[in-house]
């Protein structure tokens, strides 16, 4: 069957994304077009290493009448280039349609840099159908389609703006059958669109994208489908902020808890606003109990003035601390905090305040669950900072963001900080917070470490802690083995049970010197002498704890040491080895 419309997801620029994520925006548009009777194809080139010729070859094979791209601030250059290439290769009969998040803030620029025939501005499900009807079925002039920009001779025509879609439940779920190998992707959903806030570095709230949400039943029905497809699964809820309507968020959590908690087959992620959670603290338990495994929080800065300039009026450092602490105590494994370097009026002092704040979150407020990333202030088109940088003590050095990619390269400076200062600070921030996180690992309770290993094993979630286990090979090995079944930790075993089990060593580097044996490669190094070294040597998995006692009693016969004393010592040594991730226990 020939393809009417082919959507193409272009590769990202940087080596930044580890996970393969479905492009929900395009899936929604494709599903809608397909339900409207078009044959739709999808070419996902989000993996690195795809060449232009390969993309053109695939498009030639599919021979579509229309090709579509999703445009964001970063890929508008490559999509622009690709559209011109396609027009050269296939002529003007091939129609090119653009849409995506950058459509609202920079429509002129997108059209200027590309050969697109039409740009869909805002949500695309219904608009794309009408554009296709006009261009492919001759249903009527483009001028009658709301929410687009199209070419007319050398000029651009903007049609009447389209209102955001109110009834999100009416949209079909994004159809994963468009993905060549759906199981390779980390699934995601959108439970609500738009944002009620108006942060000055973001365009979401300013562009008329008022907040709307799906019904809890509709959301849970989509998750059910994903659980059916994937089995136990980690799902990202990609809303701008999941807690925009806290009462709705609570209802969603309630339903998720009822449906998925008994089966323990769902772990989910969402972004939250701390000021909302502070007002509705019941969200904390509701989220954790319904299977939230990771949340993202826009902390941005540790400086109140900067937060005020961002118009994050109720997101104050002490509110962040309070909410991060609450999620931590409730047992949320991963609290992912975002920071921005180079904010309004940023000074060397405010940078230090932010770094100190991040380290405090890592080491004192949420050790074992705090994770973070830092990016540069990147004034996107449509944001207040981009339009009035002078009001924010921000100098935009590169308004076209030619040097920026993934917010990973600085494009601004302030009165007291150069681009270099901001750049170098961000990398120091990353390094020092990394050290802070690492410094907590040796002190974390075993349960916290096991949780990180467990969510990695069961749901493929790699947290900052799991990632850093590699720096402690003995711990990494231990967490790989314990919990995988069969091999147990000793902390929950009574002394009698401990003696009944067969202690077996983690393969770890050891160093021997005369009577002393050191076990290396763990969060703390372990040095054993005399009897301790003997016990460690006998933890080969061949003797039970009780048999080790018998063995040592025979060895020490005639020295006056009683079997009771040896038993006590063996138990103590086994506990010590266990606490230091040096042994685990088998039951035969």
Q: What is the DSSP string of 134-170?
A: HHHS--S-GGGSSSEEEEETTEEEE-PPPPPPS-GGG
Q: Which of 6, 28, 31, 306 binds ligand B12 (CB under 6 A)?
A: 28
* Whole-number Å distance between alpha carbons of 49 and 182: 20
Q: Does 378 bind ligand SF4 (CB under 6 A)?
A: no
* Whole-number Å distance between alpha carbons of 112 and 98: 13
197 binds, among ligand SF4, ligand B12, none (CB under 5 to 8 A by kind): ligand SF4
Q: Between 125 and 303, whose beta carbon lies closer to ligand B12?
A: 125
User: Positive or negative CA dihedral for 278, 279, 285, 287?
Assistant: negative
Q: Which of 64, 100, 107, 367 binds ligand B12 (CB under 6 A)?
A: 100
The closest residue (CB) to ligand SF4 is: 202
* Whole-number Å distance between alpha carbons of 112 and 109: 5
Q: Between 120 and 448, whose beta carbon lies closer to ligand B12?
A: 120
Q: Which of 4, 204, 421, 488 binds ligand SF4 (CB under 6 A)?
A: 204
The closest residue (CB) to ligand B12 is: 99
User: How many residues lie near ligand B12 (CB under 6 A)?
Assistant: 38
Q: Does 269 bind ligand SF4 (CB under 6 A)?
A: no
Q: Does 337 bind ligand SF4 (CB under 6 A)?
A: no
User: How many residues lie near ligand SF4 (CB under 6 A)?
Assistant: 11
Binding string, 217-256, against ligand SF4, x = CB under 6 A?
-----------------------xx---------------
Query: How far apart are CB 384 and ligand B12 at their closest, in Å?
Result: 13
Contacts of ligand B12 in 231-290 (CB under 6 A): 238-240
Neighbours of 432 (CB within 10 A): 15
Backbone angles phi, psi at 208, to 5 degrees: 75, 15
Tell me which residue of 353, 398, 361, 359 sits closest to 376, measured CA to CA. 398
Q: Which of 41, 64, 80, 99 binds ligand B12 (CB under 6 A)?
A: 99
Task: Tell me how far CA of residue 59 lies from CA of 22, 52, 124, 312, 485, in angstroms.
Answer: 20, 11, 22, 45, 49
Query: How far apart are CB 340 and ligand SF4 at their closest, in Å?
Result: 10
Tell me which residue of 438, 467, 437 sits closest to 452, measured CA to CA. 467
Six token digits for residue 122: 């805002």
Choose the stretch contacting ligand B12; rule: CB under 6 A; options: 23-31, 279-287, 394-402, 553-561. Answer: 23-31
DSSP reduced 3-state for 237: strand
548 CB burial (10 A radius; 0-12, 13-18, 19+): buried
Q: What is the DSSP string of 2-44?
A: --SEEEEEPPPSSTT--S----HHHHHHHHHHHHTT--EEEEE
Q: Does 293 bind ligand B12 (CB under 6 A)?
A: no
Query: How far apart are CB 568 and ligand B12 at their closest, in Å?
Result: 55
* Whole-number Å distance between alpha carbons of 312 and 586: 53
- Residues 239-268 as b/e (b if ≥16 CB within 10 A, e otherwise) read bbbbbbbbebbbbbbebbbebbeeeebbbb
Q: Does 199 bind ligand B12 (CB under 6 A)?
A: no
427 binds, among ligand SF4, ligand B12, none (CB under 5 to 8 A by kind): none
Q: Does 298 bind ligand SF4 (CB under 6 A)?
A: yes
Q: Which of 4, 6, 25, 340 binds ligand B12 (CB under 6 A)?
A: 25
Six token digits for residue 176: 């994963």
Q: Are 33 and 11 in contact (CB under 8 A)?
A: no
Choose the stretch contacting ligand SF4; rule: CB under 6 A; options: 90-98, 195-203, 218-226, 545-553. Answer: 195-203
Q: Does 199 bind ligand SF4 (CB under 6 A)?
A: yes
Choose the stretch contacting ligand SF4; rule: CB under 6 A; options: 198-206, 223-231, 321-329, 450-458. Answer: 198-206
Q: Are 127 and 162 in contact (CB under 8 A)?
A: yes
Task: Tell me how far CA of residue 379 lies from CA of 157, 385, 397, 413, in angstroms.
Answer: 27, 6, 10, 12
Contacts of ligand B12 in 47-76 (CB under 6 A): 68-70, 72-75
Enclosing H/E stretch for 335: strand 334-341
Q: Which of 126, 197, 429, 573 binds ligand SF4 (CB under 6 A)?
A: 197
H helices present in 460-500, as ranges = 464-468, 473-481, 495-500
Query: How far apart are CB 483 and ligand SF4 at their closest, in Å?
Result: 36
Q: Does 202 bind ligand B12 (CB under 6 A)?
A: yes
4 binds, among ligand B12, ligand SF4, none (CB under 5 to 8 A by kind): none
Task: Tell me how far CA of residue 492 lies from CA of 45, 427, 446, 550, 584, in angstroms.
Answer: 49, 42, 11, 24, 12
Query: How far apart are CB 188 and ligand B12 at their closest, in Å?
Result: 6
Give residue 95's Cα distance to chain centre: 35
Query: How far apart are CB 258 and ligand B12 at their closest, in Å?
Result: 26
Q: Which of 40, 59, 94, 97 binds ligand B12 (CB under 6 A)?
A: 97
Q: Does 386 bind ligand B12 (CB under 6 A)?
A: no
Q: Are 272 and 288 in contact (CB under 8 A)?
A: no
Residues that bind ligand B12 (CB under 6 A): 7, 12-13, 17, 21, 23-26, 28-29, 68-70, 72-75, 97, 99-102, 105, 120, 123-125, 128, 190, 202, 204, 238-240, 380, 406-407
Residues that bind ligand SF4 (CB under 6 A): 195, 197-199, 202, 204-205, 240-241, 273, 298
């Amino acid at each position: 069957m020939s393809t009417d419309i082919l959507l193409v997801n272009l590769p990202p620029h940087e080596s930044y994304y580890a996970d393969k994520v479905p492009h929900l925006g395009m899936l929604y548009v494709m599903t809608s077009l397909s339900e409207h009777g078009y044959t739709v194809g999808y070419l996902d080139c989000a993996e690195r290493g795809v060449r232009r010729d390969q993309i053109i070859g695939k498009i030639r094979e599919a021979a579509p009448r229309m090709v579509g791209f999703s445009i964001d601030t970063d890929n508008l250059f490559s999509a622009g280039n690709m559209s011109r290439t396609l027009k050269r290769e296939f002529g003007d009969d091939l129609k090119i349609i653009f849409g995506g998040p950058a459509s609202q803030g920079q429509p002129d620029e997108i059209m200027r840099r590309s050969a697109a025939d039409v740009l869909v501005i805002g949500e695309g499900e219904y608009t794309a159908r009408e554009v296709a009807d006009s261009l492919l079925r001759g249903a009527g002039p483009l001028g009658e389609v709301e929410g687009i920009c199209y070419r007319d001779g050398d000029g651009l025509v903007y049609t009447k703006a389209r209102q955001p879609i109110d009834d999100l439940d009416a949209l079909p779920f994004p159809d994963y059958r468009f993905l060549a190998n759906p199981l390779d992707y980390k699934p995601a959903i959108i439970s609500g669109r738009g944002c009620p806030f108006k942060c000055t570095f973001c365009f979401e709230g300013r562009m008329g994208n008022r907040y709307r949400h799906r019904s809890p039943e509709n959301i849970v029905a989509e998750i059910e489908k994903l659980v059916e497809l994937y089995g136990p699964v980690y799902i990202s809820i990609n809303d701008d902020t999941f807690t925009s309507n806290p009462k709705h968020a609570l209802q969603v959590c309630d339903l998720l808890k009822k449906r998925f908690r008994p089966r323990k087959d769902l772990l989910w992620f969402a972004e939250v606003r701390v000021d909302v959670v502070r007002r509705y603290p019941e969200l904390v338990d509701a989220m954790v109990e319904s299977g939230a495994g990771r949340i993202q929080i826009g902390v941005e800065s540790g400086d109140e003035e900067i937060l005020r300039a961002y118009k994050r009026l109720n997101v104050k450092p002490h509110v962040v601390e309070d909410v991060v602490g609450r999620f931590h105590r409730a047992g949320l494994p991963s609290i992912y905090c975002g920071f921005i370097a180079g904010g309004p009026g940023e000074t060397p002092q405010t940078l230090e305040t932010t770094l100190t704040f991040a380290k405090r979150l890592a080491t004192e407020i949420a050790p074992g669950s705090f994770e973070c990333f830092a990016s540069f202030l990147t004034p996107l088109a449509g944001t207040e900072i981009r339009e009035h940088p002078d009001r924010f003590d921000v100098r935009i050095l590169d308004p076209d963001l030619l040097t920026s990619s993934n917010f990973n390269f600085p494009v601004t400076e302030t009165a007291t900080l150069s681009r270099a200062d901001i750049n170098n600070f961000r990398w120091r921030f990353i390094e020092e917070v990394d050290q802070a996180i690492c410094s907590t690992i040796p002190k974390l309770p075993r349960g916290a470490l096991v949780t990180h290993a467990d969510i990695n094993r069961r749901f493929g979630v790699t947290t900052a802690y799991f990632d850093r286990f590699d720096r402690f090979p003995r711990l990494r090995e231990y967490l790989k083995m314990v919990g995988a079944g069969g091999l147990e930790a000793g902390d929950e075993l009574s002394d009698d049970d401990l003696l009944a089990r067969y202690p077996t060593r983690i393969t770890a580097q050891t160093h021997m010197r005369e009577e002393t044996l050191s076990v290396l490669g763990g969060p703390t190094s372990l040095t054993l002498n005399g009897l301790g070294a003997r016990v460690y040597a006998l933890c080969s998995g061949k003797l039970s704890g009780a048999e080790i006692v018998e063995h040592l009693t025979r060895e020490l016969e005639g020295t006056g040491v009683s079997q009771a004393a040896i038993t006590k010592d063996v138990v103590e040594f086994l506990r010590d080895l266990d606490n230091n991730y040096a042994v685990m226990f088998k039951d035969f």
